[in-house]
Structure 1
Amino acid sequence: MNAPRDASYAEWLAESLQDPQEAAAYIEAAIELEDPAALLLALRHVAKAHGMAEVARRAEVGEKSLFRALSENGNPTIDTLHKVLHAMGLRLSVIPMRG
């Protein structure tokens, strides 16, 4: 991912995170930090890149509920997490920890 010099970082990030491969790598990097706040931030960035209202609609979750779940103090359920990821073309998976 190389940001062009004439675009703002936020615009570039939002555009990049529309690509499922980039979004998955971004979320995976946040998971590797082992910091729930970083994961929520990454999920929020990806959801914003896909349009929060559209993600909420596809996930069949209320917009306010989605904003609350992905907020700094959010604590989404596994069901909400699954629905939101699916709405963005992603899925949750588990892999062995690296030795």
Structure 2
Amino acid sequence: MSKKISAAVSHHEREIAELRADRELAVEYMKAAMESLDNPDDRAAGLLALRTVAEAYGGLGAVAAEAGISRETLYRTLSAKGNPTLKTLLAVLKAVGMKLSVESEHPATA
């Protein structure tokens, strides 16, 4: 008696599909990722999150081409040990339809 095993969708694939389907979720996901880039102990998570968003919004090859860098450079830059330049970070964000913004770390009190 043989059992048919259905193909499971990986967590990563599901995450990409959810980010692709919900732009606001992708923006909030990137906001959290950008905050983690500021912490050396959490930087890898932020870079991998940016990589996931790049996969969701065109794939790494298309995002690399749009950003004007090689796919290999993008893979290396958006790895756990990556260290993107500001130019590369801005280009990748632009390629996925986002931009960098700044806000006060300490909200003004009335």
Same structural fold, with TM-score higher than 0.5 when normalized by the shorter chain: yes
CA distance in 1, matches of 2:106, 2:24: 21
**Number of aligned residues:** 94
CA contact (8 A) 1:20 1:90 kept: no
TM-score (norm 1): 0.82
Q: State the distance in 1 between where 2:35 and 2:75 align.
A: 23
Of 60, 66, 71, the match for 1:63: 71
For 1:8 and 1:69, the matched residues in 2 are separated by: 24
Which ranges of structure 2 fall in alignment gaps of 5 or more residues? 1-7
Cα pair distance change 1:81/1:16, threshold 3 Å: same
Q: Is the 8 A contact 2:51 2:78 kept in 1?
A: yes
C-alpha displacement of 1:98: 4.5
Match of 1:14 in 2: 16
Shift of 1:37: 1.3
Alignment-derived partner of residue 94 in structure 1: 102
RMSD over equivalenced CA pairs, Å? 1.9
Percent identity of equivalent pairs: 44
1:47 corresponds to 2:54: yes
Larger-gyration structure (1/2) = 2
| CA deviation after TM superposition for structure 1 residue 31, in Å | 3.1
Contact 1:26 1:42 in 2 (8 A): yes
Moved more, 34-43 or 86-95: 34-43
* SS in structure 1 of the partner of residue 29 of structure 2: helix
